[in-house]
Amino acid sequence: MGRPPAHVCKLVSGSVIPPGAAKAFQHFAGEQLVEPLRRLVVWGAGTFSRKAFGDLLKQVLPLSLFRSVIKWQDVTQPGGTKFRRFDVYIRGDTHDFLEAIRCYRKLRLFACVYRNYHDRGGRCRPVPPMPKVRQEVNGLMTLNINGISGRWTEVALLLRRERLACLALQETQAYAGSWPLNFHKYFVFERRACKGDTGERGVALAIHKSLAAFPVGVEHPSWILV
């Protein structure tokens, strides 16, 4: 008896050989019943080489069940991940194979019957919620900016990057009638500058909103009591 045709010997990606190929193989083999090949997926042995995985199967499976294994191959998960699995092709029932993998205690192995991508129900596994990382604010800083009008963006980026608890600004040169200072996630208390030679050029105090802050005491043109 010669070699079966190439389309008969080829392993397909489904769980069984298509009926047409199985029928052709039965006809070539003299109407002898041929059990379909089944594809199983084994997880937990991604660091093994193909030879080491074969030795592992010899330890896990009984000899009669190991003889039903036709081939195995390592597969890297698609989508840019580095997770590897092994696909095992066996002939016959898959229940004994899955039970032997489940009962193996030395390694945490998991096996299941391969299913096509479109046949899988609930393909997206639920992602556990990430724990909320509490970002603490810390640090005090004083800064002489010599005019806030041209440096507002730099101050806002400084607060966002350093996450300061408190920032004291001197010489804001924000006179009465100008727009009030405002920074994201910060309380801003300010004293406006006075025109003339009084020496009062404006001060401001930015305190993070995670901290309780409110003005106290009497107002002074050069002091902010919070």
For 95-134, give one letter per residue: b (16+ CB within 10 A) or e: eebbebbeebeeeebebeebeeeeeeeeeeeeeeeeeeee
Rounded Cα distance, 182 and 215, in Å: 16
User: What's the predicted TM-score (pTM) here?
Assistant: 0.41
User: Does residue 198 surpass a pLDDT of 80?
Assistant: no
pLDDT surpasses 80 at 126: no
What residues does each domain of the chain span?
A: 35-119, 140-208
Mean pLDDT of 13-20: 47
The Cα–Cα gap between 55 and 66 comes to 11
Read off the pLDDT of residues 98-118 as tens digits, 9 standing for 90 and up: 888 878 777 777 788 887 766
If one looks up domain 35-119 in CATH, what number appears? 3.30.70.330
Which two tokens mark 201?
Answer: 């050029």
pLDDT tens across 147-171, in order?
888 888 889 888 888 888 999 999 8
Query: What's the rounded mean pLDDT across residues 45-53?
Result: 81
- CA–CA dist 36, 22 (Å, integer): 7
For residue 38, report the phi and psi dihedrals to the nearest 5 degrees: -125, 145
Whether pLDDT at 208 is above 50: yes
The pLDDT assigned to 10 comes to 44
- State mean pLDDT over 32-36: 56
